[in-house]
Each structure stands twice: as C-alpha cells, then as structure tokens.
C-alpha cells in the first residue's frame, strides 16, 4: 500500500459555545505501510481474500513492528489536539476521590475494597471485631506498572483461608495464590495456567478450579476448546491435582465451572459448549466416591442451583420460562420432570440472590431494577423500595446474616451503598462518595423508539438539564446487543466528564441483550443478528430526528461485541455518524471462531463453517470484509490491547488496515494499541485515564471543536 497523506480540515461550526474557535486547523496523517499478502480461503466454493492474515501472528517481529509504527502515528496525531491535556486533567481531578465497595464478612473479619483516588488497583482492606483496620491485599504492589491485577478472591467457609487469582498484562490466563488469612502467609505453591475460572472451596481441605491444557503456539491466540475442572488439595503440587470433569471426549465442553454449596454438601458442575445454555450435574460430597448425577443433559437452557436446604435444591432456570423462574427439587431425583415452581416466571426478567434466610428477586422492568423479598416457603414478604430509578445490586449474603449491603446507581448518580435489615426491610445509607460532580444538574430520561421492523426499543438519554435540542450537541451512542448481557444504568466517571462538556450519553437496550429475557436475546443472534445493527441505526436516527444531535456531532461507541456493533454500523451506514470508536471488537466474522475460546460464541453468531447460508450471512456484515473503496467512513479510532486473549487484537489490526487502505476523504482512521493490556478487566486507572483522554479529545476534535465546549 502506498503511503497516503490525508489533510484533516476540521469543521468551522460554533456549537452554541461562546469560546469555540473557528479557524481551520489541518492535521496530516501519514499512515505506515501495511503490506498485502495473497492469502485466500474458500468457503462453499466462494474465495475470500485475506491480505492481512499475517497480522494474526502475535509473536512475529513484523506484527510487533507494525504495532509500534501504528502507535507512533496515532499518538503523534493525538498529541497535537490542543485540549487533550485539559480533558486528562479533568479526568484525573474527578477520578481522585475515595471509593469503597460493599463490605462482606469472612470469619472474624469484615473485608472491603478501597481506592484512595488514583490508585491503579483497588486495595483489599479488613477490620477485626474491634474495628481495627489493616491492608489485607494490595494489588498495586504486584507489579511496578500496575498491570498485574487481582481478578477474584474466595474465602473458605470459616474465613481462615483465601485463594486469589491474578492477571498479568490483562491476560485471561491466571495464577492462583493461597493465604492463611490470620498470618497472611502464602500456603503451598502458586498454581498457574488457570483460565475462565472461579475458585470454590471444599471445607479447608482444598478447592475446585477450571482451566484448559496450555495450547501449542501462542497462548494469546491459539484455540482453546476443552475446559476441565480440577480439585487442588492444599500443600500438594499442582501436578497432582485431581481431574474432576472434562478429561474425556464425552465430557468435552468449552466452558466448565464447579461450585460447592454453602453447607459444603454438594458439588455442582455446569458444562457449556457456548456462552448460552448449560448442562448441570451434582455430586454428594458427604458420600465417599459418590457418582456425578445429571440434573440437565442438554445445553438448550440456562440453569443453576442458587440454594439448598438439606437435599432440597432451588434452581434458577429459563427452561420453559424465557424470563427465568425458580424451581425446587430433591437432589435424589433432580431431573426437570420432578421440578416444582417456587417463584414462577413473570413478564420481567428475574435475577435472584439469597441472604439472611430469604430470597431476593431482582427484576428488570425496561432495564430498571425492582426487588422483591421472599421467604423459603415462597411467600412474598415485601417489595424493597429502592432509593430511586436505576440499578440495584448485591442483595445477598450468608443465611445467618441479619444485615447486608446493596448498591444503587444510575447514569447520573455515583454508586452508593446501603445497609439492609432483612427482618424489618429498613435500610440506611452506609456510604456515598464525595465527588466533584453535581448530579442534580443532570437528567436521565428513558424513551422508546421504533426499529426497522417495528420493534419498540428502550433508550436512556442522559445530559445536563436545560440542554438545547438544536442538533449540535456532541453525543456518544453506546451499545452492546449480545450474549444475553443487559445494559442497566450505572455511573461512570468518564461519562460524567463527557456530560460536563455538554455531551449527551445515550444507551439503547438492543436486541441480543438480556433486558427482556431469552426471546430478546435470541432475536439478535445468528441469522437475526442484523436486528441488532438495525436497532442501533434506529437509535441514531431517533437522536438526529429529535434534534438531540446530528450526524456531524454523533459518535458510535462499543466494546467487544459492541465493537462488532460499531464496525457493522459504520460500514453499513457510513453517513450516520461523524466518529466511530470500536473497542476490542469482534471484527472478522469469518475467522473469529479459530482464536482462543472464540468458537464458544457460536450461539450468538453462528460460524462460516456451519452452512453456506450462515457463511453468506456473516460475510454480508463482517466489518473486515465490508470496507469498500471510495467510501468516506467516519473519523475512526480503533482501540485494542496487545495482550487481549479473549478478542484477539488481530481483529482490530485487520480492520484498521482495511480502513487505512480504502478510506476516501479527510476523516482519519487510526488504531490505538495499548501495550501490556488485555480485554479491559484490571486495566490500571492511569491507563484508563489516558485512554479516555485520547478517546474524548479525538471525538470532539473531529466534530470540529478547537477548544472544549465548556472551556472554563
């Protein structure tokens, strides 16, 4: 590819801002050369060229050099944006407040996470019975640059032991370390090569975990598709860990998890071939050499044991109940023909929890939380009147707890914690942040708009009060639409900074998500995936038609499956937005299933090998395969991490290369590659601030701003 010199002439528009400068500011982009190699795959007699296949090799020096050259161009561009430092300074200032998480009791201690303000990772603190505070675990000491993070910690039932998992450089591969909680001394060796796993203790003897055999080739991109459950006995080498499930062909699944019931009576194993649907098994741990008994022998539904009282099991399921329900059954005969409804299905999606001897049923009503409390006989005790309209979470604890904590937040209100008494139903504010952001100056409103096929879609739109609907407001339209994941209201410091600048933040609840249950999810999968893109496009059109913004001031943003959403939308409707921000996206839909655990996403996507019909459908929307010559695409900044082993960065590399080779017009097409970083979890605060300073400055600059809209 020849080097392309593009001059960016930013728009001369005053966006209702007295301080906006209007002079032209050309900004040149001299893209690195990306070589094109003849590589062709044949699907059902159709040849598909893949000229940037070489970028899939994450271990090659050529790919490493390409990353360095692309970053050099991208950061040179970003560093020339005059107000980037102001955005970064504001992010740092607003971020710099004390943050706590909900406390939880383990043994003789109460634990909680705290961040003093700008610490890269939250610190795990604890208090003893006398209320004396100490640091229990400080992930900021794990590595000099803050890129080693704590992914989870699990305590034995009596709280005397803890096992925690760490992630290095953002990778999904984990290491496990065991501590004596009283002395904080490490017990035994560090376990390695653990992936997509929880930790579940069996008494104080040991714990269950899951992993794959280490793949041949690159551990960051090689395919992993046979998950296994192991039991680790304390003070023994990992090499002697007992294989519990997944070692033979008949037990081959991509995702397998194990958990032990709170009373340590039963081992539960869930086995899935994809991200939706699971088999379910149970084993009585009180009987030596007890067999593994099947509860569900197919992966057509999602089911899990949430609680047990002796041999009585309480199971959450969407079997014949798309919005989920709770059923009961005896462990001796646990198959569905013996299930009895406990909390029946309703028209809203159920997400239950237990604590204090009660069940707490959280429902999503148009993506807004409602919570009801039931006793163990299934009797409704009360509706929990929440502090407002938004998202609640954390209703749960041990059976003996009489008080526990729940969280509440929405798009304009920072998350606060409340202490809840299970008997009276009363709660009091436990902690609320002291943050330099006045939520009273903002409003969040839910609207319903009509998608292409007539389906009504909810969307929450948040912004400063009194915003003028003149079509000139910088707006981020954020979406996901997949994997049964629900986007519910939550506060974000980064979004607060965006809204301080007069920005609008809009989040539609697209099909493919879980907001309205399994039917809503399935309506955005496989041969119906286009519904998700249509829903997103219709959201943009609603915002434009109602003068919240216009195409010149609209940015599309999404990550992972949401990165696919942005990539598909911008290639199908390049005219609809000024800026596109696909993050860690699934962008090559013909090859996604060949990397790491990607084949597990086939429930949502299907694969190019399934059928000629499925191949053609994927080819028609795959972002990498739909960048066309002679089209002016939005100003685009692709973002990814070089250690992303969930959605491998090759997706983003190939998409950026296609855009740079074919883009017509003045809009830049850049890729920002975070080094020593993965899919996003555990990203240090310092890196997050830098990322969003770059994202927001790129977005506003390409909307025509020479100074910040709110330049105070």
- Catalogue the active-site residues: 560, 679
Dist. CA 536–CA 532, nearest whole Å: 6
The DSSP secondary structure of 391-443, one letter per residue, reads EEE-----TT-SEEEEEEEETTEEEEEEEEETTT--EEEEE----S--GGGEE
Q: Containing H/E element for 91?
A: helix 84-95
In the numeric block, the tokens 């002395």 are attached to 183
Give the number of C-alpha atoms closer than 13 A to the C-alpha of residue 97, restricted to the C-beta side. 15
CA-to-CA separations, 78 to 75, 373, 646, in angstroms, rounded: 5, 51, 27
Question: What is the pairing mode between strands 504-508 and 475-478?
Answer: parallel
Residues in the chain: 712
Distance spanning both ends of the chain, measured CA to CA: 44
Nearest by Cα to 463 from 419, 422, 498: 498
Count of beta carbons in the 10 Å neighbourhood of residue 251 = 20
Dist. CA 279–CA 272, nearest whole Å: 6
Q: Containing H/E element for 557?
A: strand 554-559
Read off the tokens for 495: 């979004």
398 close to 387: Cβ distance less than 8 angstroms: no
Q: Can you give 11-30 as a three-state secondary structure string?
A: CCCCCCCCCCCCCCCCEEEE
584 close to 596: Cβ distance less than 8 angstroms: no
Read off the tokens for 31: 């893209």
Count of beta carbons in the 10 Å neighbourhood of residue 232 = 25
- The alpha helices in 38-162, defined as continuous H runs, are 61-79, 84-95
The DSSP secondary structure of 324-341, one letter per residue, reads -EEEEEETTS-SGGG-EE
389 close to 410: Cβ distance less than 8 angstroms: yes
Q: Containing H/E element for 284?
A: strand 279-284
327 close to 317: Cβ distance less than 8 angstroms: yes
Helix axes 685-702, 61-79, angle to 10 degrees: 60
């Amino acid at each position: 590819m020849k080097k392309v010199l593009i001059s960016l002439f930013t728009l001369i528009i005053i966006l209702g801002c007295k301080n906006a400068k209007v002079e032209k500011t050309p900004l040149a982009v001299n893209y690195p050369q990306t070589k094109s190699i003849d590589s062709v795959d044949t699907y059902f007699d159709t040849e598909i060229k893949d000229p940037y296949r070489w970028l899939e090799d994450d271990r090659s020096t050529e790919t490493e050099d390409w990353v360095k050259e692309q970053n050099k161009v991208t950061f040179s561009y970003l560093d020339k944006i005059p107000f980037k430092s102001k955005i970064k300074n504001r992010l740092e200032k607003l971020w710099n407040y004390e943050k706590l998480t909900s406390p939880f009791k383990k043994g003789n201690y109460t634990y909680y996470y705290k961040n003093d303000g700008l610490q890269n990772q939250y610190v795990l603190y604890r208090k003893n019975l006398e209320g004396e505070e100490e640091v229990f675990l400080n992930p900021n000491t794990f590595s000099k640059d803050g890129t080693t993070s704590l992914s989870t910690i699990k305590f034995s039932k009596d709280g005397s032991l803890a096992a925690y998992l760490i992630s290095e450089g953002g990778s999904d591969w984990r290491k496990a370390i065991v501590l004596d909680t009283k002395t904080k001394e490490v017990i035994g060796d560090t376990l390695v090569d653990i992936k997509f796993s929880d930790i579940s203790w069996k008494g104080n003897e040991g714990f269950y975990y899951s992993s794959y055999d280490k793949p041949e080739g690159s551990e960051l991109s090689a395919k992993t598709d046979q998950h296994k459950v192991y039991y680790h006995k304390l003070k023994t080498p990992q090499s002697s860990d007992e294989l519990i499930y997944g070692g033979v062909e008949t037990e081959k699944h991509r995702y397998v998890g194990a958990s032990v019931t709170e009373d340590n009576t039963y081992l539960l194993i869930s086995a899935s071939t994809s991200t939706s649907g699971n088999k379910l098994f149970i084993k009585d741990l009180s009987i030596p050499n007890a067999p593994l008994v099947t509860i569900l022998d197919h992966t057509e539904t999602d089911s899990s044991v949430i609680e047990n009282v002796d041999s009585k099991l309480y199971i959450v399921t969407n079997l014949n109940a798309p919005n989920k329900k709770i059923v009961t059954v005896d462990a001796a005969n646990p198959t569905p023909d013996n299930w009895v409804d406990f909390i029946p299905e309703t028209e809203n999606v159920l997400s239950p929890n237990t604590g204090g001897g009660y069940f707490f049923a959280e429902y999503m009503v148009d993506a807004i939380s409602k919570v009801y409390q039931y006793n163990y006989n299934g009797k409704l005790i009360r509706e929990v009147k929440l502090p407002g309209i938004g998202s609640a979470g954390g209703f749960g604890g041990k059976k003996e707890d009489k008080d526990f904590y729940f969280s509440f937040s929405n798009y304009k209100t920072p998350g606060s914690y409340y202490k809840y008494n299970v008997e009276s139903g009363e709660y009091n504010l436990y902690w609320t942040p002291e943050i330099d952001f006045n939520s009273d100056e903002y409003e969040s409103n839910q609207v319903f708009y009509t998608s292409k096929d007539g389906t009504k879609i909810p969307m929450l739109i948040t912004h400063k009060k009194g915003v003028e609907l003149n079509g000139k407001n910088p707006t981020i339209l954020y979406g996901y639409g997949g994997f049964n994941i629900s986007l519910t209201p939550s506060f974000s410091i980064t979004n607060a900074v965006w809204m301080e600048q007069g920005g609008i933040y809009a989040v539609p609840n697209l099909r493919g998500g879980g907001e309205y249950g399994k039917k809503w999810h399935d309506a955005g999968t496989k041969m119906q995936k286009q519904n998700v893109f249509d829903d997103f496009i219709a959201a943009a059109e609603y915002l434009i038609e109602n003068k919240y913004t216009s195409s010149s001031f609209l940015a599309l943003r999404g990550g992972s499956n949401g990165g696919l959403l942005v990539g598909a939308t911008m290639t199908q409707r390049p005219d609809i937005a000024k800026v596109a921000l696909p993050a860690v996206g699934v962008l090559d839909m013909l090859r996604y299933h060949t990397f790491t655990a990607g084949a597990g996403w086939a429930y949502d996507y299907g694969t190019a090998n399934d059928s000629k019909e499925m191949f053609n459908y994927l080819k028609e929307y795959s972002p990498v395969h739909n960048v066309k010559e002679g089209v002016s695409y939005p100003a685009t900044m692709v973002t990814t991490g070089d250690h992303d082993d969930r959605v491998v960065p090759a997706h983003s590399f190939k998409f950026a290369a296609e855009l740079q080779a074919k883009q017509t017009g003045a809009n830049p097409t850049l890729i920002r590659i975070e080094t020593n970083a993965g899919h996003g979890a555990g990203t240090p605060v310092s890196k997050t601030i830098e990322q969003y300073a770059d994202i927001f400055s790129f977005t506003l600059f390409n909307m025509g701003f020479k100074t910040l809209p709110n330049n105070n």
